[in-house]
Structure 1
Amino acid sequence: MLASKLAPTERVPAIRLSTRISPRFRDEPVIFSSHCPYSVRAPSIRLYGDSALNQHNDNAVLFGNGDEVPSNNSNNPHIRDLIGGLNRRQLLAGGAALGTLAFLGAAIPGDALAAEPQAKGQPFKLRSRLPFDAIPISRTDGISVPTGYKATPFIPWGTPITGRYPAFLDDASNSAQDQAEQVGMHHDGMHYFPIDARRGSAKSSDHGLLVLNHEYIDAPLIHPNGPTLVNGKRASAEEVRKEINGHGVSVVEIRRNVRGEWEVVPSPRNRRITAATPMEIRGPARGNPLLQTRYSPDGTATRGTQNNCSNGFTPWGTYLTCEENWAGYFATRDSDVSRELKRYGLRSSSRFGWETLPGDEFERFDATRKTTDAQGDYRNEPNHFGWIVEIDPFDPSSTPVKRTALGRFAHEGLIFAPVQGGRPVVCYSGDDSQNEYIYKYVSRDKYRPGNSDGRLLDEGTLYVARFNADGSGDWLPLDINDRRFRSACETAGVTFANQGEVLINTRLAADIVGATRMDRPEWGAVNPDNGEVYFTLTNNTARTTTDAANPRIANAYGHIIRWRENSRDHTGLRFDWNIFLLAGPNGDSRDPKGQPLSEQNILASPDGLWFDDEGRLWIQTDMSGSQLSSGPFGNNQMLVADPRSGEVKRFLVGPLGAEVTGITATPDFKTLFINIQHPGEGSTATNLLSTWPDGPGKRPRSATVIITRDDGRRLL
């Protein structure tokens, strides 16, 4: 996620405490006879009043931050209000490590928590699953890792990977075509595909495809002297094409050489997918009148993907890129803006001003109605974004597909529940904007190993989460064929023509059923030990009230929430939840054991989240503003948590101004890949706030970092 979230300078108020107790997680289904699995709470839906569009037009700034304008004006319950109804001990699973385990109903693995050899006269202690010394906070312009580990920058922005393999020029004078053949700007979500994945083994740890997102571009750095403007408008089509080509996804074949170092392989598999790449639309919204444009009169095709933040990968071996804060790329000058645009915060001007140039390739970013019908202009072009995009990394000739059954919103990522043959696939995604929601998708058809493909993501049910104050939760279906959803729509006075229209208006549909507004739901991860689902709620300084799942007013520091589904295959409508960690300084935080965070693990704005194969949780942060410049947290960092013991340690600290994001590993867990995004954020060609990774005098470049142990063994 783009590091532009503001933090207040004053201390965040503490959680309100009460004595209400949440239900305990259990391995067996939990049934609450007094609680209806789905009840329609008729929220007050304000479709057009107090719109973000009208509030922020005067403040729209070219090349400003990419965060979406908050646009949820519903009166749905906020997670902050729910958390206020639970006591802090219950929220954090409380007490010592064994108390936490008992709360979760988890078994204690004998090998994982085995006793250390006990010297005579020494107290008994458990062996840590985090066998490294936590590193201190830092504000240096480099990367810090524990003793015994090495961090090596790899494939920075501009690395040639295809076509003519044009070298990156230090003054950023590469052409638009060069950028289309180089690694894009601002690395984010990422996955490593073993080169033998399509042959059934997927065990190669020395040769594979590294696929990574490029969230956005910095206009002052991508050009030698920043963008060319005339009267406040874009003047160079070449510059805008370069920016468009800096977005999207890179597919890079990599391999260890004879020295054991990773290198790029010149390969026909290497590929750039940009904000101009032709794509197909599938699922319930395919062909919907709200997707008709001049480019695709039948509403089945589109161009490009942009603002790709976190990611996902499927059980059948494809990559999923997720469109997050896409609304700021478009502008509309219409006074009567449709609900499809208004609920997603479109304004009268865009972030990069691409729509100000003539020509179809640029005019598509202008959503103003110009003709009598949608087939003559681009009023519906914004409806082509906010989707999950599936890419086959092994087939460079394949067309990326936007899967509309997964909903349209600011997707941070997509994670799958444990996959079982003969059962539906289940996956989760958060809508990364203030006061938005968490969603679950359950496929209609069953997963068949070796036979299933992306069509499983075209037919199914999308649900949105409601977190209850008693620690239970409900999945509310957003399905026009469900009588409960239809009843909620009737109560709210809202109509949809078909399921495609529901999904194009996913946020509005979630408003209607009474979902719980969250504190910027970002990355998710599923614990391989027990199937629990974890999500980061990065922060929400705009919060004015609290609820059980969002416990702090003006939540500048964020927290991590988790839940356990009541059904073993994750397809059910009920879950139980609690808070795993409250981020913040020592005086306003709680670790998984219910204790204040310490110098070895204080953090703020948790963002990236990933479980390794042994059930350790890796947490990445995305602080900005005062949290980076003067707070107690130092630069952005990556920590490791052990949910079994509650131990949390800082493993890595990044360079100045950078977000630590994106994480994947080789199957042997001897190589970890992470991404460093926007080092020296806010830099210009004449004012470099970081020079990582190339050194003094060089422009900062987002890059992947390879982490290994000096002794070549498994990372942990």
Structure 2
Amino acid sequence: MSTEPRRLLPLLSSHRPGRSAVTCEYRCGNACAHPAPNTSDNTYFGDVAKSVLSRRGALKATAVMSATAAGFAALSGTAAAEVPAALAGRGNGHGKPSRPVPGTDFTPVAPNTADAVVIPDGYDQEVVIRWGDPVLPGAPRFDHRNQTAAAQAMQFGYNNDFVGLIPQDSSGWRHLMVVNHEYTTETHMFPAGTYDPNNPTEEQVRIAWAAHGMSVVQTVRDPQGGLKVVPSRYNRRITMDTEFEVRGPAAGSDLLKTSADPSGRVVLGTQNNCAGGVTPWGTVLSGEENFNQYFANADAVTDPVEAERLRRYGFKAGASRRKWERFDKRWDLGQEPNEANRFGWVVEIDPNDPNSTPIKHTALGRFKHEGANIKITKDGRVAVYSGDDERFDYIYKFVSNGRYKPGRSAHARRHNSRLLDDGTLYVAKFTGDSPANEIDGSGRLPSDGEFDGTGTWIPLASGNVSHVPGMTAEEVYVFTRLAADKVGATKMDRPEDIEANPVNGRVYAALTNNSDRGKAGKAAADEANPRNGNRNGHVLEWEEHRGDAASTTFAWRLLLVCGDPAEADTYFGGFDKSKVSPISCPDNVAFDSHGNLWISTDGNALGSNDGLFAVPVEGPNRGQVKQFLTVPIGAEACGPVITDDVVLVAVQHPGEGGTAENPESHWPDGGAAQPRPSIVAVWKKGKWGRSGRIGS
């Protein structure tokens, strides 16, 4: 356990909850301080329930059957053979808790505000790599007072988020670690007094360009525990100067052409890379998220159609926060309006080929991708799940036409990557199964004791064919949000990371929060988003029809309604709320080899530092949330990676609640050191291997 002092606190304290103002400004451009871009008038379950679903029994007997077609009787008495027990009303935590579930046998960490990574007793930790550490040969040692763009392009980037491990041997000793660098906070990156937000120097801007993107590093297991970064030909930095190939049905579209790229097929850089996923063929998918904040002068675009497209994606008038437009016109929408359309994609890199050109996949749609994760369909095709991280935006799925080729050879990687360029893009519509008067926005459970229902995947486009009236296929892919508005998708509470459980096959999505839910003129609570003023978020679970990711119907329920377990508006899978850790603002999800769900948080609204939590999803312990660690002051817990031997967490933006002169945190180096975003490894004390398994 960390030797840093813990500062315990009540769940609701005078400590300012949530993200710092600095984080909000630089990470997402203060998105929550502005009106939500989705002003569509989609119909919601709660709006029509009185006229369509006057009785719960009527829904279960008739509406579910007709809505899901093909005889899918999810959540009805006949569904038990097709829907797992947890989605058929059994194994939902109401039974007597068993002994600790394998993978979760640790003593939970208490809520705290320590300036440290606080871990359970019996565990060790170390920093694997931190901002500015060498990645490429010849990289200089990090010098906070004498940074250069050339040095940063060879060093580990800023504000690490997604972490992926790609095995390089069967023993698990060597991996390629891939890390996203989501955004830069220039007011904290540079020494006090050297950075003027209104007048950055060109060199400072170029340092920021180099600090974005991704890093690939070779890691080896340390016999004493943890991972170590070693020199390797695979080590790589991807920055805002790296060339990307645009692929898929929108490649070459007039909507993507600029003066620098009249082909519409080559983009420099990737930015705001948030979560991601390791593909079955050993590449990495990464989602471009809050890209809108980097562009200036949206008000210079006067064509009403183009202006509405920019507004729907959150582009603002006037200068950008970082002033990049002063040094490259592509960030000025008045000069290059199409440059904005070249970000907001899922990108793919091949860590095993350091000379490969990264890809932007247009068939997966353009929005604020939190990440992208894959599940193989029953007939061998590829399904990709992704959330649009914005208040009142949507959940998406892509299903390929071609079939997956097992293996991680260069041939298999090329073949499988091409699958992501041809298929059908869908958006989700959720329907609850409770009467309208039981979904009142309070978070009170309906009479059946669960928030649950059925859902439909609505097709948006297949290849060059649009399924959205009034939009071409190219417009659907480039302006996916507007397409989803038109077909009546369900507005969600900031859908973030989405991943399929490799053990039970179900899919889990983190919905971080939405304090605007239920406000005047905004969408009211529905059963999939059951609380107005939702500060703490929830976790959604669904089962595709017959467990097939290619299905267009599914059954869903909420696993967690997060917050203080002492409050009436929280729900922990039916588990005894007096025996769980409080959890707020779920962000990223991952799974261990037992199928337990692990959740990292962003913006804890309960007064504690953010952290990482484990929760069983099966049996009598279903919903038993246990906090595994907390991150330092001002930081967010990202990543994470859960193996039998080690947990990896990306500690993002430590100390951002303070200033460059007086940061709130001095982690990881302590003393008066500048805080540095870093990757942390945690493992059980003792010999690596079976005796040292996480949570065993």
Q: Could you tell me the TM-score, scaled by structure 2's length?
A: 0.81
Alignment partners' CA distance in 2, 1:62 and 1:592: 32
Q: Which residue of 1 aligns with 2:402?
A: 445
Q: Which residue of 2 aligns with 1:399?
A: 357
Give the superposition deviation at 1:78.
Answer: 5.2
Q: Which residue of 1 aligns with 2:346?
A: 388
- Tell me if the contact between 2:244 and 2:357 (Cα under 8 Å) persists in the aligned partners: yes
Q: Which residue of 1 aligns with 2:175?
A: 208
Alignment partners' CA distance in 2, 1:675 and 1:419: 31
Alignment partners' CA distance in 1, 2:260 and 2:529: 43
Map 1:547-566 onto structure 2 (within 5 A): 547-566=526-545
- Tell me if the contact between 1:172 and 1:221 (Cα under 8 Å) persists in the aligned partners: no
Give the superposition deviation at 1:390.
Answer: 0.5
> In the comparison of the two structures, how many residue pairs are matched?
603
- Deviation digits for residues 572-592 of structure 1 (CA, Å, limit 9, x no counterpart): 111011110110112134343
Q: Which residue of 2 aligns with 1:684?
A: 659
CA gap 1:456/1:614 in 2 versus in 1, 3 angstroms: same
Aligned residue for 2:151, secondary structure, equals: helix
- Deviation digits for residues 646-668 of structure 1 (CA, Å, limit 9, x no counterpart): 122111111111111101245xx
Alignment partners' CA distance in 1, 2:152 and 2:578: 44
Q: Which residue of 1 aligns with 2:613?
A: 639
Q: Which residue of 1 aligns with 2:596?
A: 616
Aligned residue for 1:479, secondary structure, equals: strand
- Tell me if the contact between 1:535 and 1:560 (Cα under 8 Å) persists in the aligned partners: yes
Map 1:365-384 onto structure 2 (within 5 A): 365-368=331-334, 370=335, 378-384=336-342
- Tell me if the contact between 1:78 and 1:550 (Cα under 8 Å) persists in the aligned partners: no
Aligned residue for 1:153, secondary structure, equals: strand
Give the superposition deviation at 1:638.
Answer: 1.1
CA gap 1:416/1:350 in 2 versus in 1, 3 angstroms: farther
| One-letter amino acid of the counterpart of residue 318, structure 1 | T
- Deviation digits for residues 55-83 of structure 1 (CA, Å, limit 9, x no counterpart): xxxxxx98575354521110114588799
Alignment partners' CA distance in 1, 2:346 and 2:463: 23
- Tell me if the contact between 1:67 and 1:325 (Cα under 8 Å) persists in the aligned partners: no
| One-letter amino acid of the counterpart of residue 551, structure 1 | P
Aligned residue for 2:549, secondary structure, equals: coil
Aligned residue for 2:217, secondary structure, equals: strand
Q: Is residue 288 of structure 2 the alignment partner of residue 327 of structure 1?
A: no
Map 1:49-60 onto structure 2 (within 5 A): none
Alignment partner for residue 473 of structure 1, among 434, 455, 467?
455
Alignment partners' CA distance in 1, 2:592 and 2:504: 13
| Residue segments in structure 2 that go unaligned for 5+ positions in a row | 1-10, 15-23, 61-74, 434-452, 519-523
Alignment partners' CA distance in 2, 1:307 and 1:410: 9
Give the superposition deviation at 1:136.
Answer: 1.1
Q: Is residue 261 of structure 2 the alignment partner of residue 279 of structure 1?
A: no
CA gap 1:220/1:457 in 2 versus in 1, 3 angstroms: same
Alignment partners' CA distance in 1, 2:27 and 2:640: 27
- Tell me if the contact between 1:536 and 1:609 (Cα under 8 Å) persists in the aligned partners: yes
CA gap 1:204/1:275 in 2 versus in 1, 3 angstroms: farther
Give the superposition deviation at 1:384.
Answer: 0.3
Map 1:478-557 onto structure 2 (within 5 A): 478-479=460-461, 485-486=467-468, 489=469, 495-496=470-471, 498-544=472-518, 545-557=524-536
- Tell me if the contact between 2:226 and 2:682 (Cα under 8 Å) persists in the aligned partners: no
Which range moved further: 656-665 or 242-251? 656-665
Give the superposition deviation at 1:217.
Answer: 0.9
Q: Is residue 317 of structure 2 the alignment partner of residue 348 of structure 1?
A: yes
- Deviation digits for residues 266-302 of structure 1 (CA, Å, limit 9, x no counterpart): 1121111012211110001100001000111011111
Q: Which residue of 2 aligns with 1:31?
A: none
CA gap 1:279/1:564 in 2 versus in 1, 3 angstroms: same
Q: Which residue of 2 aligns with 1:162?
A: 136
Q: Which residue of 2 aligns with 1:66?
A: 29
Aligned residue for 2:567, secondary structure, equals: helix
Alignment partners' CA distance in 2, 1:657 and 1:289: 43
- Deviation digits for residues 534-570 of structure 1 (CA, Å, limit 9, x no counterpart): 1011000011111110001110011011111114321
Identity value in percent: 39
Q: Which residue of 2 aligns with 1:131?
A: 105
Q: Is residue 278 of structure 2 the alignment partner of residue 313 of structure 1?
A: yes
- Tell me if the contact between 1:64 and 1:351 (Cα under 8 Å) persists in the aligned partners: no
Q: Which residue of 2 aligns with 1:187?
A: 160
- Tell me if the contact between 1:190 and 1:662 (Cα under 8 Å) persists in the aligned partners: yes
Alignment partner for residue 420 of structure 2, among 457, 462, 465?
457
Q: Which residue of 1 aligns with 2:17?
A: none
Give the superposition deviation at 1:341.
Answer: 1.9
Give the superposition deviation at 1:438.
Answer: 0.1
Q: Is residue 608 of structure 2 the alignment partner of residue 651 of structure 1?
A: no
Q: Which residue of 2 aligns with 1:288?
A: 253
Aligned residue for 1:346, secondary structure, equals: coil
Q: Which residue of 2 aligns with 1:57?
A: none
Q: Which residue of 2 aligns with 1:242?
A: 207
Alignment partners' CA distance in 2, 1:239 and 1:656: 26
Alignment partners' CA distance in 2, 1:124 and 1:66: 44
| One-letter amino acid of the counterpart of residue 403, structure 2 | K
Give the superposition deviation at 1:354.
Answer: 3.1
Aligned residue for 1:73, secondary structure, equals: coil
| One-letter amino acid of the counterpart of residue 247, structure 2 | R
CA gap 1:206/1:515 in 2 versus in 1, 3 angstroms: same
Which range moved further: 585-594 or 633-642? 585-594
| One-letter amino acid of the counterpart of residue 204, structure 2 | E
Alignment partner for residue 190 of structure 2, among 196, 199, 223?
223
- Tell me if the contact between 2:114 and 2:632 (Cα under 8 Å) persists in the aligned partners: yes
Aligned residue for 1:687, secondary structure, equals: coil
Aligned residue for 2:341, secondary structure, equals: helix
Aligned residue for 1:138, secondary structure, equals: coil
Alignment partners' CA distance in 1, 2:171 and 2:194: 43
Aligned residue for 2:192, secondary structure, equals: coil
CA gap 1:573/1:259 in 2 versus in 1, 3 angstroms: closer
CA gap 1:126/1:386 in 2 versus in 1, 3 angstroms: same
CA gap 1:426/1:511 in 2 versus in 1, 3 angstroms: same
Give the superposition deviation at 1:312.
Answer: 1.2
CA gap 1:295/1:596 in 2 versus in 1, 3 angstroms: farther
Aligned residue for 1:445, secondary structure, equals: strand
Alignment partner for residue 41 of structure 2, among 75, 91, 106?
75
| Residue segments in structure 1 that go unaligned for 5+ positions in a row | 1-6, 11-60, 109-114, 116-122, 197-202, 371-377, 490-494
Give the superposition deviation at 1:417.
Answer: 1.8
Aligned residue for 1:312, secondary structure, equals: strand
Q: Which residue of 2 aligns with 1:436?
A: 393
Alignment partners' CA distance in 2, 1:640 and 1:62: 30
- Deviation digits for residues 569-619 of structure 1 (CA, Å, limit 9, x no counterpart): 211111011110110112134343425634741111111111112101101
Give the superposition deviation at 1:475.
Answer: 0.3
- Tell me if the contact between 1:82 and 1:469 (Cα under 8 Å) persists in the aligned partners: no
- Deviation digits for residues 231-265 of structure 1 (CA, Å, limit 9, x no counterpart): x7434110000011111100011113565553221
- Tell me if the contact between 1:136 and 1:600 (Cα under 8 Å) persists in the aligned partners: no
CA gap 1:333/1:101 in 2 versus in 1, 3 angstroms: closer
- Tell me if the contact between 2:285 and 2:346 (Cα under 8 Å) persists in the aligned partners: yes
Aligned residue for 1:643, secondary structure, equals: coil
CA gap 1:600/1:548 in 2 versus in 1, 3 angstroms: closer
Aligned residue for 1:478, secondary structure, equals: strand
Aligned residue for 2:660, secondary structure, equals: coil
Alignment partners' CA distance in 2, 1:143 and 1:504: 40
| One-letter amino acid of the counterpart of residue 465, structure 1 | A
- Tell me if the contact between 1:8 and 1:556 (Cα under 8 Å) persists in the aligned partners: no
Give the superposition deviation at 1:428.
Answer: 0.5
Alignment partners' CA distance in 1, 2:49 and 2:175: 44
CA gap 1:124/1:445 in 2 versus in 1, 3 angstroms: closer
